[in-house]
Chain A
């Protein structure tokens, strides 16, 4: 049973480019969560999605960031026109969907903006 998959593991972008981060949840999990981890900070919740539906995006910056979880395929976190401050580790987690469920985390994508 494969765990949560994230790719790429490392992503380098120049300022102004777009970054696309992918997350494949564990088999049987219908809920996906995205978190950002900045140096010296904890995990910050960004967005919570179910298939074809954004449940809570209260942690997402209002501009340049978007997320989707289509009916088929992985969840995508998209950052347009990246800036240096976007450099961070982005983690995806998945769960069956109840608040009592454990979230299973992927290995993360480390984004570096030059």
Chain B
């Protein structure tokens, strides 16, 4: 079963417009949620993560995400995008089970910011 689903493979958006990148997860066990960004020809770097507590998480570069347990979602948002935000964005889940931890990444969303 797919543990992380990113519904949009490509999202074009005009500069200074808002953007939302969607992520849904499927699990009933303890989850830790992450968003990573990958710039061209680079490795991934963390944008933000949800571990517990406040469901609204703020990250770097003006991004934020909201953990919604009832909808099993962790959508990423930014109120005004910049050209430099053009990159691949990955939602990730760590499932913490008694038998150990498991790691899942979504298929990625390619964000293109149009001048």
Report B's interface with A, CB cutoff 8 A.
Answer: 6, 32, 34, 36, 41-46, 49, 51, 90, 92, 94, 96, 100-108
Which of B44, B92, B102, B104 has the most A CB atoms < 10 Å from its CB?
B44
Give chain A nearest CB distance to B37 CB in angstroms.
Answer: 11
A91 touches B44 (CB 8 A): yes
Query: What is the bound-complex CA distance between A35 and B51, given in angstroms?
Result: 22
B interface, over-half SS: strand
A93 to B41, CA, bound (A): 16
Q: Is A44 an interface residue (CB 8 A)?
A: yes
> Could you tell me if B90 and A43 are in contact, using CB atoms closer than 8 angstroms?
yes
A14–B5 Cα distance when bound, in Å, is 35
Query: Given the interface contacts A42-B105, A42-B107, A45-B105, does A4 sit within 8 Å of B32 by beta carbon?
Result: no
CB within 8 A of A48: which of B42, B92, B103? B103
CB pair B104 A102 closer than 8 Å: no
Chain A positions near chain B (C-beta within 8 angstroms): 4, 6, 33, 35, 41-45, 48, 55-56, 58, 91, 93, 99-100, 102-108
Q: List 22 A-B contacts (CB under 8 A).
A: A6-B43, A35-B105, A42-B6, A43-B92, A43-B105, A44-B105, A45-B104, A56-B102, A91-B44, A93-B43, A99-B96, A100-B32, A100-B49, A102-B46, A102-B49, A103-B44, A103-B46, A103-B103, A104-B46, A105-B43, A107-B41, A108-B43
